[in-house]
Amino acid sequence: MKKKIGYNQFFVPHNVLEDVKFQKMPLSARYLYVILCKLANRHADYDGWFYRSLSNLEIDAHMSRNAVSKAKQILVKNKFIDIKRGYYEHSRLRTYDYFRLNGFRFKV
């Protein structure tokens, strides 16, 4: 089977990686941002939002629950990602978090 060019690749924006605030963040937050870039490439909708549970993020990033939670807080505080909470429509019980990455600036 012939491989497609660019089949197993995803984008991580240079302007984020070169940002001084990003470089001063803990390694766990920087690593989680790269994992979120990978997930956004696979699951994001047209507006850039995708959902993921905390337990799934633990598995994807191979990090503990506390490390993932702290890394998410750091990324939100520094405005590298946006998070909104998901709820079931009728019962209003909490579901997954919805993520959107900030920092992608493509030329149109």
pLDDT at res. 66: 96
What's 14-101's CATH class?
mainly alpha
> What pTM does this model have?
0.83
Q: Which residue ranges make up each domain of the chain? A: 14-101
Summarised one tens digit per residue, pLDDT across range 5-35 is 556 778 888 888 888 999 999 999 999 999 9
The identity of residue 69, as a single letter, is S
Percent of the chain with pLDDT over 90: 53
Q: Using an 8 Å Cβ cutoff, are 71 and 60 in contact?
A: no
72's CB contacts (< 8 A; 6+ apart) are 32, 57, 81, 83, 97
pLDDT at res. 8: 72
